Structure 1
């Protein structure tokens, strides 16, 4: 682990869930905070008896959902306050917003669900798209809740399962996350490339 991760874990041990909640919520907005690694560490601390695993799970799940909602509302306000009031910005972003809206109408549920835990690096982008396009909030919250529950169980469970040796799995988790993110970006790029070629024909 690097020095930053060690520092985050030290702060977590001092300030507990309140510090972790800030990391999680900023991560939902798109700030790289290292929240996933701290959640793994918290699972190991729960294994050592420092935390109640059930309460910790519920707290992490709750703040993850809150963070996604903050991101959704933030981007919705940005759209209402800035894009709608600037003709140049609206003209530039309108085609992209329409594309995002069409995509979310077709694949929104899956995109929201899978970007919570499987390809979580893409989560902030989906949050932004959902907020700007004013995606139905109740549907957004349902699939956020389901996806974040899996994310919370997965990362917390890894730390709890490996216990004192949790640090050994951090590089593996990081690499797997990067591979899944790059693979997703590649698949999406290929999909839109093929779609663009078909439209030209």
Structure 2
């Protein structure tokens, strides 16, 4: 799979990477992060200008977040309106999401861009469907994606020819962080339920 992605990337460059990053923002795994690291390594080898590449990646991934937010904001509500039972079930949860985002949305959007990026698509969905303020979402998504682009391109550039050796480590760290957050949420909900009883 990695080899296929690399071949397409070498042929279509930033356009192929852009499509992968846009799709990745919706939560579909595409290998876009892997190619961002690889493109950093290619910049080290002199195939790309690292500064231009950074701007392109930053704009594309930020645009992907905005697109994902908009999909959930408009299509999400239409889908729920077609299924009244699902809508009745989801409405209390959407209201809770809205309240949570009003209090912690800026930090949640910012941190899920780079520190716990596997959670990013879920925050995009929650922000869109819960009508979180678009200007805040875009601002903190752009700031977070600045760091994401810097970190992953920087890692590829720093490790150069040996960039492939760091990919499993990055993947494992991301999975562990996402797992810890999910575990924390489950424990929090469990304690909350016990307190109510």
Structure-2-length-normalised TM-score: 0.96
Aligned to 2:140: 143
Q: Does 1:94 align with 2:94?
A: no
1:134 aligns with 2:131: yes
1:120 aligns with 2:117: yes
- 1:153 aligned residue: 150
Provide the aligned C-alpha RMSD in A: 1.1
The count of aligned residue pairs is 197
Q: Deviations over 1:65-109 (max 9, x none)?
A: 110111011011123322235432221111111111111112111
Give structure 1 regions of 4+ aligned residues with deviation exceeding 4 angstroms. Answer: none
Name the residue aligned to 1:46.
Answer: 43
Counterpart check, 1:79 vs 2:76: yes
Long gaps (5+) in structure 2:
none
* Gaps in structure 1 of 5+ consecutive residues: none
Distance in 2 of aligned mates of 1:11 and 1:153: 23
Deviations 1:40-70 (A, max 9, x none): 0000000000000000000000001110111
Within the alignment, does 1:17 sit opposite 2:14 as a pair? yes
| Match among 58, 62, 68 for residue 61 of structure 1 | 58
SS of the residue corresponding to residue 149 of structure 1 reads helix
Q: If the length of structure 1 is used for normalisation, what is the TM-score?
A: 0.94
Q: 2:189 aligns with which of 187, 192, 201?
A: 192
Q: Which residue of 2 aligns with 1:5?
A: 2
3-state SS, counterpart of residue 84 of structure 1: helix
